Amino acid sequence: MRQDAGMRIEELERRARGLAGAGGRRILGIAGPPGAGKSTLADRLARALGPALAAVVPMDGFHLAQAELVRLGRADRKGAPDTFDAAGYTALLRRLREPAGPVVYAPAFDRSLEEPVAGSIPVAPDVPLVITEGNYLLHGAGEWAGVRPLLDEAWFLAPDDALRVRRLVDRHVRHGKAPDHAADWVARSDEANARLIAPGRNSADLVLADVCCAP
């Protein structure tokens, strides 16, 4: 593991481009706690490389549907490890590692609906790099333990916690929660998940500070 709090975004872009040029299909995983900037970094890398070289497949597309969370009694802790289809996500990564057929369609998570949407993200067989991001890529429990061996490289984002929490609260407010409800949800749910995720940094190739917003 390499800890490099000072790595600039341009260096990460070069590293991702190197993976894309390494031959065959490579998968880069970006993990970290809620609000760490995973999707921002993944999207920036994909834009820098362009659609011919990189596609982003978020883990969040494997959220269980709200109706299923209600049936299971887990709706009040949506975002916990057992509120995702971890086995389905792992199966998709295995399929993406062997691009020997038609386009693979991955699900996305629609935050305006708070629901996963199947078949949203096309990954063409000739795209050499898949960037996947999510909380639990380096979580070693249950079905999640099968994810790390499928990643050619894994990065763990570890920004300042106070900044990360402020981002989280702001994000929940943007998506419709009242400020007090948003702050309570972050303290009760998101931060509990952050504590579960923290040990995963030990299996990352890079542990990075807040690089997603660097110039």
Write the pLDDT tens digit of every residue in 4-42.
555 788 999 999 999 999 999 999 999 999 989 999 999
Amino acid at 14: R
One DSSP character per residue, 73-117 reads T-GGGTTSGGGB-HHHHHHHHHHHHS--SSPEEEEEEETTTTEEE
Residue ranges and CATH numbers for the domains of the chain are 2-160+199-208 (3.40.50.300)
Both tokens of residue 136? 């639990």
Contact partners, residue 130, CB within 8 Å, separation at least 6 = 25, 26, 27, 28, 54, 55, 56, 57, 96, 123
What are the residues facing 153 on neighbouring strands?
Answer: 28
Q: What is the pLDDT of residues 59-105, one digit of tens each?
A: 999 999 999 999 999 998 899 999 999 999 999 999 999 887 889 99
- How far apart (Å, rounded) are the C-alpha atoms in residues 156 and 209? 9
Global pTM value: 0.90
- How far apart (Å, rounded) are the C-alpha atoms in residues 43 and 142? 28
